[in-house]
């Protein structure tokens, strides 16, 4: 894969069998395996696109423009229907540029620096609620999204340093909000986070980048500490596999680490015994490492088949695709 310009944003759908990239040249939607261009909208339609998000395998995606000197303002999210070949809805929010857009069959989440807006999504698009949040200059947030619409858990940085707030967006109404659960994940600022498709697991990494923690969302208990390395780094991406068996992490060290989240009973029992007797630390090391020099901004897992093992793909900022 190659695009005529640097990629501003990359987003895989929940199944990770398709992904959307936003660039100055417009929006591109690709099939993951085999790599095939599915849709291409040039910048005469989208303007310079800064954010792009695709809804599962549907004909709907959302994009945000780059602001000044481009076609659309940076505080407007535009819903485009590839079958109708037109923008079918626009959502404009006050208070600064849109930093992230998350999408499911029933919810549209718009993230700004100090606000999160929750919209009902479907035949009409209406604002359900706006929530004040701690300053979030990168728009860090993650939304679980099963194909059946269940388990729509939203995670974003909490008001306390190193904490993450968890909210079931299907339970939020126009009349009242709900009190989000809070998880104290790190002592320093959270740099990356991810929620699995099922809405049961949360992965977090801090600005130190040495340890990735995996939490049970229901109990808020830390299940795993995954050791990325001993040197501090800047995390670029965290991604669960669709089945939640693996977790991938990329950083400015030019390496993707893959961690096995689920183990068979024998391996788990052996690990637990060794921890109890003090022969190993309560940390998990990566089961695989992949060196990729360009900045990785998107990771997807490919399901195993009868003739191939499960594998991953990586989309880089320079427009290259690696498998």
Please report the domains of the chain, with CATH numbers, ordered by start residue: 1-139 (2.130.10.10), 152-262+281-322 (2.130.10.10)
- Tokens 């640097």 locate to 6
Residue 280: the pLDDT is 38
Residue 148: the pLDDT is 64
Q: In angstroms, rounded to a whole number, what is the distance separating the alpha carbons of residues 63 and 93?
A: 14
Q: Is 95 left (phi over 0), alpha (psi -120 to 50) or beta?
A: left
User: Which pair of tokens denotes residue 186?
Assistant: 């790190």
Query: What single DSSP character describes residue 123?
Result: S
Q: In angstroms, rounded to a whole number, what is the distance separating the alpha carbons of residues 81 and 239?
A: 27
Q: Are residues 38 and 25 in contact, defined by beta-carbon separation less than 8 angstroms? A: no
Residue 6: the pLDDT is 85
Q: Are residues 250 and 256 in contact, defined by beta-carbon separation less than 8 angstroms? A: yes
User: Which pair of tokens denotes residue 162?
Assistant: 């190193």
Residue 315: the pLDDT is 94
Residue 266: the pLDDT is 40
Residue 281: the pLDDT is 44
Residue 277: the pLDDT is 40
| Of 280, 281, 218, 288, the residue nearest 259 (C-alpha) | 288
Residue 178: the pLDDT is 72
Task: Give the C-alpha distances (Å, rounded to integers) separating 73 from 13, 47, 69, 88.
Answer: 25, 10, 9, 17
Q: DSSP secondary structure string, 71-87?
A: SS-TTEEEEEETTTTEE
Digitized pLDDT (tens) for each residue of the chain, 323 residues in all: 555 468 999 999 999 999 999 998 899 999 999 999 999 999 888 888 999 999 888 888 999 998 766 788 999 999 999 899 999 999 999 989 999 999 988 899 999 999 999 999 877 789 999 999 999 999 999 999 876 656 699 999 999 999 999 999 988 888 766 788 999 999 999 999 999 999 999 999 999 999 999 999 999 999 999 999 889 999 999 999 999 999 999 999 999 999 999 864 444 444 443 344 443 345 788 888 999 988 999 999 998 776 667 889 999 999 999 98
Q: Are residues 209 and 228 in contact, defined by beta-carbon separation less than 8 angstroms? A: yes
Beta bridge partners of 7: 23
Residue 312: the pLDDT is 93
Residue 149: the pLDDT is 59
Question: pTM of the entire structure?
Answer: 0.89
To the nearest 10°, report the CA torsion of 262, 263, 269, 274: -90
Q: Are residues 146 and 199 in contact, defined by beta-carbon separation less than 8 angstroms? A: yes
């Amino acid at each position: 894969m190659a695009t005529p310009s640097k990629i501003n944003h990359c987003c895989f759908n929940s199944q990770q069998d398709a992904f959307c990239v936003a660039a100055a040249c417009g929006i591109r939607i690709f099939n993951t395996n085999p790599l095939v261009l599915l849709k291409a909208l040039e910048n005469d339609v989208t303007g310079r696109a800064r954010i792009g998000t695709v809804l599962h395998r549907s004909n709907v995606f959302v994009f945000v423009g780059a602001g000044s000197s481009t076609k659309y303002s940076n505080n407007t999210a535009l819903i485009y229907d590839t079958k109708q070949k037109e923008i079918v809805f626009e959502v404009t929010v006050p208070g600064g540029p849109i930093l992230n857009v998350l999408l499911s069959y029933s919810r549209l989440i718009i993230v700004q620096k100090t606000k999160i807006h929750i919209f009902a999504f479907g035949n009409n698009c209406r604002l359900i609620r706006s929530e004040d949040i701690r300053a979030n200059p990168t728009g860090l947030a993650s939304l679980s999204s099963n194909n059946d619409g269940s388990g729509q858990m939203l995670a974003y940085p909490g008001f306390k340093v190193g904490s993450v707030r968890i909210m079931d967006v299907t339970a939020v109404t126009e009349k009242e909000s709900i009190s989000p659960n809070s998880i104290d994940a790190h002592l320093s600022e959270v740099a990356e986070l991810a929620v699995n498709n099922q809405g049961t697991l949360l992965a977090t990494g801090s600005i130190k980048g040495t340890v990735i923690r995996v939490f049970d969302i229901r109990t808020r208990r830390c299940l795993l500490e995954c050791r990325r390395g001993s040197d501090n780094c800047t995390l670029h991406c965290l991604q669960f596999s669709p089945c939640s068996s693996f977790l991938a992490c990329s950083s400015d060290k030019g390496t993707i680490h893959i961690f096995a989240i689920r183990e068979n009973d024998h391996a788990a029992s052996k690990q637990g015994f060794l921890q109890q007797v003090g022969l190993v630390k309560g940390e998990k090391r990566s089961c695989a490492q992949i060196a990729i020099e360009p900045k990785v901004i998107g990771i997807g897992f490919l399901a195993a088949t009868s003739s191939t093992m499960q594998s991953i793909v990586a989309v880089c900022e320079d427009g290259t695709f690696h498998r």
